[in-house]
Structure 1
């Protein structure tokens, strides 16, 4: 059981470092190449791998994101072991819907930002894509690590 929990934490952190921050960096720096796919309003406001201080505790943003990646990695590994949905779909939905919802409601309150980004819909879509990439990538890592158990029906 500890192997599964530790694997969830590690996969969640690696998912942040590789998939979430990787997609953020690509969307920010190479947006000119992606404009045929995504509208200009979906460009992230900052690049990935930001080390400026953030949040109520003044930690670097990348460390802050890795902490939340570890927490959500625990949730994801639990959902994958108990749920019946496909693992990659579960990861994407957890990241795109649940993590985005929590980020736009609970976390913005600690930063003094407007809830739901003040109703700015392109930010919702952009963040949902980025968080969905984290969930999809973390679920893929968990599958590769053997943390996902397939039930026979």
Structure 2
């Protein structure tokens, strides 16, 4: 088993990568299906640091990886996967819809809530996949 510091670094990395691949990947499918107008992996600089929007989002995905990993790390099997998907879907979506969207002056509607749940569930799955792969490597 890896040391705790390494696990937390892996949890951040998992959340970061899950954002770039799984979260944005599902958004790409939505975009290809004509369900959303904006292309994913948005490189537009955002304040205050001027980093690309997708990198800012990936950073926050990494931050979210820490509490989600803390919650799911002890579970095995189907419990591990389902909890990652459910917690990944609900936690970030609630924060986005109740805090982030109002702060940015964005409207919240049922379509955005459902879309958020779907892309964040995919993010949770990606986080779990990365952590499961590393758990396998730690025990090898």
Contact 1:15 1:135 in 2 (8 A): yes
| Regions of 4+ moved over 4 Å | 55-58, 82-85
Q: Which of 91, 113, 131 is residue 142 of structure 1 equivalent to?
A: 131
Q: State the TM-score, normalizing by the size of structure 1.
A: 0.77
Contact 1:55 1:111 in 2 (8 A): no
Q: State the TM-score, normalizing by the size of structure 2.
A: 0.83
**Using a 3 Å threshold, how does the CA distance of structure 1 residues 62 and 122 change in structure 2: closer, same or farther?**
same
Q: Distance in 2 between matches of 1:136 and 1:24?
A: 15
Q: Distance in 2 between matches of 1:95 and 1:45?
A: 24
1:139 positional shift: 0.8
Q: Distance in 2 between matches of 1:91 and 1:45?
A: 28
Query: Unaligned stretches of 5+ in structure 1?
Result: 33-42, 148-153
Q: Are 1:99 and 2:92 counterparts?
A: yes
Q: Are 1:113 and 2:106 counterparts?
A: yes
**Matched pairs, number:** 133
